Each structure stands twice: as structure tokens, then as C-alpha cells.
A and B are shown apart, each in its own frame.
Chain A
Amino acid sequence: MTGESQTLGLHAAKLGKRFSSKGGDVQALEDVNLEVQQGGFMSIIGPSGCGKSTLLRAFSDLVEPSIGEISVNGKMPAEARAAREFGVVFQSPNLLPWRTVLRNVTLPLQVMGVDRPTRNQTAHEMLELVGLGSFARHHPWQLSGGMQQRVAIARALSTNPSVLLMDEPFGALDEITRDRLNLELMRIWGQLSATILFITHSITEAVFLSSQIAVMSSRPGRITELIDVNLPYPRNAETRDMPEFYELVIEVRRALVEASAIAS
């Protein structure tokens, strides 16, 4: 590890991933270089199947890269996982349906061997943070999709990770719910100052949330453009009305079109 990468929340250099199958090999990622400062908010946007989820899964140690360097807080993903450096929020809420909301949030703490009173208290705090304090005893199926995803965020935050890896967490939600959760995510991020890697296919979502946006093209999946989002924090509902917001949306859309042109 270089000295520089130790200050980075997330770091990837010349990262590649090739999936082999009977139908032939697929180059999911090629020469991906990425740097996210600690406390930064990076969104990755790209067409479906461009490998953005694979990139996130490489950071979360769910996928082994074929080549290249990758680190989380200066550690290898496997080490970072063991040290609970990151929390993952999946595309689906991924809650255990047989556990109550509270016991879903306490699960990572249970794994860590935290005693019951402490983990219940932490889980209650996390549920308060995501605005679901009074739903601890409900089961996941009693909640709406948006609420379930907030429980998933509370669960990812329960171990107090410094990095949050979010894989299209609001992709399945309607736009109104998504906008509200984006606001909540900004509020939570403001309170925790975690490093966030956020996968999305929504341009407005990426612009609204991020300090930087990486645009990806598909086949092979690579980062074609990095766009800085110089909108002031804290962001709120008014941010979406700023002319700069629209300019950025247009810029990201242009970059996405160019990325697709490369692919085809």
C-alpha cells in the first residue's frame, strides 16, 4: 500500500474483472481507477450491465478482482470486511423476513458478539436515525419498500462503519419515495460523515447526492468521465431548484450518452 492510499476512503487502480462462463468470457471491469476521499460521496452511474455493481461488490469483498489494486480505508477488502470498516446496502432491502425490524438491525452486532442490551440500544438509536423508531417490533413485511430500505440502512450503520457501500438502494422505489430518502440520506450522511459509494442509474439522484460522479460505459465496464458536483452542502429540497443543478444534470446526461456511444 502506498502512503497516499491510506488517506483514501476507497481506492482502485487498474482494476479488472473477467467472468468466465460456458457462453464465453465477459470483461465486467477494465482498467478502473477510482479514488474517493474519506468522507466523500461518490456516485457511479452507467447503463444496466456496465459493471457498476461488480465494482461495488469488489469493494465489499463479494467479488474477487481479476487484476489490479483495490482498498477500503487503505486495507484490502477482506481485511476491511473483517475489521467492519464498511456496511453494505443492497439493491433489495435484503431483510430477514423471520426477524423483527429490531433483530434485523442488531444482526451485524450479534455477529460481532455485542451483548444484547447494548446491541438493542444501538439498534434503537439507528432506527431513530432513519426515522423508524417506533417500528422496532414490526416484521419487514409490515413495512413499505421505502421503509424496508431505511431499515437496511440502519442495519448497515449499526456497526458504525466509516464506509457505506450502497448498490442502487432506491432503484426499486417510486420517485417520490426516492426523493424523500435522498433527503434523509443527506441528513444521515451529514451526521455521520462516512465515505459513501453509491451506485445508481438515476441522473438526478446522482447529482443531488454526490460530491463526485463517475460515469461508466459497458462492455468492457470502465470509467469514462469524472464529474465534480460543486453544489453546496447541506443539500435540501431547494438544491433541486438551483440552475447549477440542472446544468449538472445536463452534463451527466451528455457524459452518459457519450459513454453509451463508446460501448456500441
Chain B
Amino acid sequence: MTTEDVAVIKNTESGGRGRNLPIGVVLTPTIFFASFLTIWELAVRLGDVQVLMLPAPSVIWSMFVEDFGLLVELAINTGIEAGKGVLIGSLIAIGLAGLVHGIQWLNQGLLSYSSTVKALPVVALYPVMTIFFGVTSKAVVAMVAVGVAPIMFTFASRGFSGTSEHDDLMRSISANWRIRMTALVLPRALPYVMAGLRTAVPLSIIISIISEYFGGSVSTLGAYIRRESTMLHTVQVWSAIVMACLLGVLVFVAVSLLDRYFLRWHSSRREV
């Protein structure tokens, strides 16, 4: 190794992503959001809107703080249902995509099937799921899996269909199927799988909450929102909506962090 070699190492320690974030990226939405809340608060107070119709942000916030422990528990339960659904749906979809990749007609058939299921409003399937699983948490998990699987299949299938010069390499070293899969095909599909998860994971929260709304385990965000709304506890409903929002943001950030970690080798994830 020579000193030139050291010099040509692209420096990744300095700079780093996010540090030179333009101030507008943070400031603009903050100002926007603050103005939005202010207008809302003023409109409710000055317009004398009934709390049953639309509570002021300050009222919602104090309820959110008061019920925080309960809301976290509800969010965790919803999150677990969504997570299980994503896990099951993704494993089935990725496994299937991996098995049929290379079998053109089967892959095409499953892709068109996926498109059909994606076009279907998943909520319509809930009665069917309750027949299979009863009005339980399992039905919610199944709903999420059904919603997530076609998305993940489409992305995974695209990921597996990729070819590159690495295929020549694998052949030249006489790699067997197992090594070809683990060392090349699966990692090469990973950016597509992560892209799928970026869509599927936030969607999984939406599907869980909607499904819970129709029934399922009692201690979840969807069930809570429904129960409180029938009792005209509008403030409680809104505080649960805030928690649902936070949960959505949280899982999105979590997926983004996973994406960055697992794809740190990927050219699009770096600023070189």
C-alpha cells in the first residue's frame, strides 16, 4: 500500500449525511405546521365551535398527555399486529418470488394476480377473514398480510429478475445454487425489497387500524377510536388519531433507518 492509495480512499467519515441539511428542510414545515395549529386553535376558540364537533389542538394535546400511557399501549398492540402481518406477508411474497423467478409463465401469472389484489380494497375482505379467524387479532394480522403480500411480491419479483455481470462471475467460479442465492441473488434483490417495505409498512398500519375498527382485539388504536366515537368522546378520538399519526411516522423512520443500514453499500444511499 502506498500513500496515494490512502489518499484515494473516498472519505466517508467527514461530511456525513444530514449534517449539512439545508435549514429550509426543517424550518419550512415547522413554520407551516405551527401556523396550521394556530389557525385551528383560534378558529375553534373564536368561532365557539363545540368540543364535540372539533376540539382545539390544546385540548387534544392535554388529553394526549393525560392518556399517554394508554395510547402507547394501544399503539404497541396495533404495531405488533401490523408487524406480524408485514412479516408473514413479506416472507410468503419473497419466498414465492424467489421460487418462481426464472419460471416466466408462473411469475407473470402471479404478477397479474398481485395487481388484481392490489386493486382490491382490502377492507372488503375483512368479513371473509373473520369467517376464517373469528373477530380476533389474527384476522387483523391476516388482513395486513393480504394487503402487503402483493406489493412485496411485485417488488421482490423485480429484484430477482435482475441480471448483472456478477452472474458471469458466479458461473466462472462454478458457484452452486445456494451460494448464488445468498451471495448474489438475495442481496441484489434487497434494494427492491426495501423499496417495497417503504410502501408496505406504512400501509400495514392503515390496514390494521381500519380492520380493528371493524372488530378484533379490544386494546388497539382502531377499536379504541371506534369505541370512543360511539360515546361521542371526540377529544379521545383525536388524541388516538395523533398517536396513530406518530406510529405511522415512527415506522416510516424505522424502515428508512433499516434501509440505510442494509443498503449502505448501494450507490443511491451515499453522497460520494
Q: Is B103 close to A, CB under 8 A? A: no
Interface window among A35-43, A117-125, A134-142? A134-142
The residues of B that contact A141 with a CB separation of less than 8 Å are 10, 265, 267, 270, 272
Pairwise interchain contact A134-B165, C-beta atoms closer than 8 A: no
The residues of B that contact A133 with a CB separation of less than 8 Å are 1
Rounded to whole angstroms, the CA-CA distance of A139 and B267 in the bound complex is 12
Rounded to whole angstroms, the CA-CA distance of A101 and B265 in the bound complex is 12
Pairwise interchain contact A82-B172, C-beta atoms closer than 8 A: no
Q: Name the interface residues of B127-177: CB closer than 8 Å to any CB of A.
A: 165-166, 168-169, 171-176
Question: Residues 181-225 of chain B: 1 if any A CB is under 8 Å from the residue's CB, otherwise 0?
Answer: 001100100100000000000000000000000000000000000
The residues of B that contact A198 with a CB separation of less than 8 Å are none
Pairwise interchain contact B173-A94, C-beta atoms closer than 8 A: no
The residues of B that contact A87 with a CB separation of less than 8 Å are 172
Query: A97-B265, A99-B183, A108-B173 are known contacts. Are A143 and B166 too (CB-CB below 8 A)?
Result: no
Pairwise interchain contact B168-A62, C-beta atoms closer than 8 A: yes
Pairwise interchain contact B8-A144, C-beta atoms closer than 8 A: yes
Q: Name the interface residues of A93-126: CB closer than 8 Å to any CB of B.
A: 94, 96-99, 107-108, 110-111
Q: Is B5 close to A, CB under 8 A? A: yes
Among B2, B169, B176, the residue within 8 A (CB) of A94 is B169
The residues of A that contact B8 with a CB separation of less than 8 Å are 143-144, 146-147
Pairwise interchain contact B169-A131, C-beta atoms closer than 8 A: no
Least CB distance, B266 to chain A, in whole angstroms: 7
Pairwise interchain contact B9-A138, C-beta atoms closer than 8 A: yes
Q: Is B246 close to A, CB under 8 A? A: no
Specify the chain A residue showing the minimal Cβ separation from B12. A142
Pairwise interchain contact A81-B9, C-beta atoms closer than 8 A: no
Pairwise interchain contact A131-B173, C-beta atoms closer than 8 A: no
Specify the chain A residue showing the minimal Cβ separation from B11. A142
Question: Taking chain A's interface residues, is the majority helix, strand, or loop, or is none over half, making it mixed?
Answer: loop
Q: Is B179 close to A, CB under 8 A? A: yes
Pairwise interchain contact B175-A98, C-beta atoms closer than 8 A: no
Pairwise interchain contact B266-A81, C-beta atoms closer than 8 A: no
Rounded to whole angstroms, the CA-CA distance of A133 and B2 in the bound complex is 11
Rounded to whole angstroms, the CA-CA distance of A159 and B169 in the bound complex is 14
The residues of B that contact A110 with a CB separation of less than 8 Å are 179, 183
Rounded to whole angstroms, the CA-CA distance of A143 and B174 in the bound complex is 27
Pairwise interchain contact B1-A134, C-beta atoms closer than 8 A: yes
Q: Is A28 close to B, CB under 8 A? A: no
Pairwise interchain contact A107-B174, C-beta atoms closer than 8 A: no
Query: A108-B173, A111-B179, A132-B1 are known contacts. Are A90 and B168 too (CB-CB below 8 A)?
Result: yes
Question: Residues 61-99 of chain A: 1 if any B CB is under 8 Å from the residue's CB, otherwise 0?
Answer: 110000000000000000001101001101110101111
Specify the chain B residue showing the minimal Cβ separation from A81. B174
Pairwise interchain contact B265-A139, C-beta atoms closer than 8 A: yes
Least CB distance, B183 to chain A, in whole angstroms: 6
Pairwise interchain contact A111-B267, C-beta atoms closer than 8 A: no
Q: Is A60 close to B, CB under 8 A? A: yes
Least CB distance, A153 to chain B, in whole angstroms: 13
Pairwise interchain contact B9-A142, C-beta atoms closer than 8 A: yes
Rounded to whole angstroms, the CA-CA distance of A62 and B184 in the bound complex is 18
Pairwise interchain contact B165-A92, C-beta atoms closer than 8 A: yes
Query: A62-B172, A111-B176 are known contacts. Are A97 and B266 too (CB-CB below 8 A)?
Result: yes
Rounded to whole angstroms, the CA-CA distance of A108 and B172 in the bound complex is 9
Pairwise interchain contact A90-B169, C-beta atoms closer than 8 A: yes
The residues of A that contact B169 with a CB separation of less than 8 Å are 88, 90, 94
Among A111, A134, A138, the residue within 8 A (CB) of B173 is A111
Rounded to whole angstroms, the CA-CA distance of A133 and B272 in the bound complex is 24
The residues of A that contact B165 with a CB separation of less than 8 Å are 90-92, 94
Rounded to whole angstroms, the CA-CA distance of A141 and B272 in the bound complex is 9
Specify the chain B residue showing the minimal Cβ separation from A97. B265
The residues of B that contact A142 with a CB separation of less than 8 Å are 9-10, 12
Instruction: Report which residue of A62, A111, A131, A134 has the largest number of chain B beta carbons within 10 angstroms of its beta carbon.
Output: A111
Query: A141-B270, A142-B9 are known contacts. Are A61 and B172 too (CB-CB below 8 A)?
Result: yes
Pairwise interchain contact B172-A135, C-beta atoms closer than 8 A: no
**Pairs across A and B, CB under 8 Å, 10 listed:** A88-B169, A96-B187, A97-B266, A98-B190, A99-B183, A107-B183, A111-B176, A141-B267, A143-B8, A146-B8
Query: Which residues of B pack against A, CB within 8 Å?
Result: 1-2, 5, 8-10, 12, 165-166, 168-169, 171-176, 179, 183-184, 187, 190, 264-267, 270, 272
* Extra pairs beyond A141-B270, A142-B9 (11, CB < 8 Å): A62-B168, A90-B168, A96-B184, A97-B265, A110-B183, A111-B174, A132-B1, A135-B1, A138-B9, A142-B10, A159-B173
Query: Which residues of A pack against B, CB within 8 Å?
Result: 60-62, 81-82, 84, 87-88, 90-92, 94, 96-99, 107-108, 110-111, 131-135, 138-144, 146-147, 159
10 tightest CB-CB pairs across the interface, nearest first? A144-B8, A108-B173, A97-B265, A88-B172, A98-B187, A98-B265, A111-B175, A94-B165, A111-B173, A94-B169
